[in-house]
A and B are shown apart, each in its own frame.
Chain A
């Protein structure tokens, strides 16, 4: 069974930093591209970032480009999101998401980590 467990969420002041982690199990982590997707309170889904299986391709949404950094450690079956210069509008539940082998798009989601940016 695919499991994706996020951690690292919490309350941070505007301008602050936070690092999200996601530990994966139940599949060959090094064979799958991964994403971070967020959902702000009362809002829809927003794709945040993508990283290929080997980390050779990385993409970001314009809203986080230059502030967020996605990375992975295949030896530790872990995905990360370093978030700097946080803004109030970054407040959201952040999901760790695995791309499917056939579809190559999000198929499995973690339970989410709440990030609240507030003074």
Chain B
């Protein structure tokens, strides 16, 4: 069981907006930045969001991140078939003195 909790799966139709939640605690999300990764099968994971709401160069603005208290969210607007992937949140945990990943959410584009 992961320190950061994500729903195992979610789905949406092309063009729709979907959100993926990430629930943590006072030792991780509440005090530290959140990061989001996209992992397509057979490829290397890609950093989508850093510092909770910043996009690295090259990441479309369809992807956005937010954080409030002990929870964070990744929103994907204008859903596309190529967005079908596994999504992971991550953060630094002060109690564990280490980085932690969420369990991952499988996004299916119907």
Q: Which of B47, B98, B100 contacts A60 (CB 8 A)?
A: B98
- Complex CA gap A59/B96 in Å reads 9
Check B98 against A44 for contact (C-beta < 8 Å).
Answer: no
* A-B contact number at CB 8 A: 58
Q: How large is the interface on B (under 10, 10 to 19, 20 to 34, 35 or more residues)?
A: 20 to 34
Check B103 against A107 for contact (C-beta < 8 Å).
Answer: no
Question: Which residues of chain B (73-110) have a CB below 8 Å from chain A?
Answer: 86, 88, 90, 96-104
Interface of B is mostly: strand
Instruction: List 13 A-B residue pairs with CB atoms under 8 Å apart, sorted by A's residue number.
Output: A35-B99, A44-B2, A44-B101, A44-B103, A44-B104, A45-B88, A60-B98, A61-B96, A102-B56, A103-B47, A103-B50, A105-B35, A110-B44
B residues contacting A by CB (< 8 A) are: 2, 35, 37, 39, 44-45, 47, 50-51, 54, 56, 86, 88, 90, 96-104
CB distance from B92 to the nearest CB of A (A): 9
Question: Which residues of chain A (27-70) have a CB below 8 Å from chain B?
Answer: 35, 44-47, 50, 59-62
Check B104 against A59 for contact (C-beta < 8 Å).
Answer: no
CB distance from B110 to the nearest CB of A (A): 23
Q: Which of A47, A103, A106, A108 contacts B100 (CB 8 A)?
A: A47
In the complex, which residues of chain B have a beta carbon less than 8 angstroms from the beta carbon of A50?
98-99
In the complex, which residues of chain B have a beta carbon less than 8 angstroms from the beta carbon of A35?
99
In the complex, which residues of chain A have a beta carbon less than 8 angstroms from the beta carbon of B98?
47, 50, 59-62
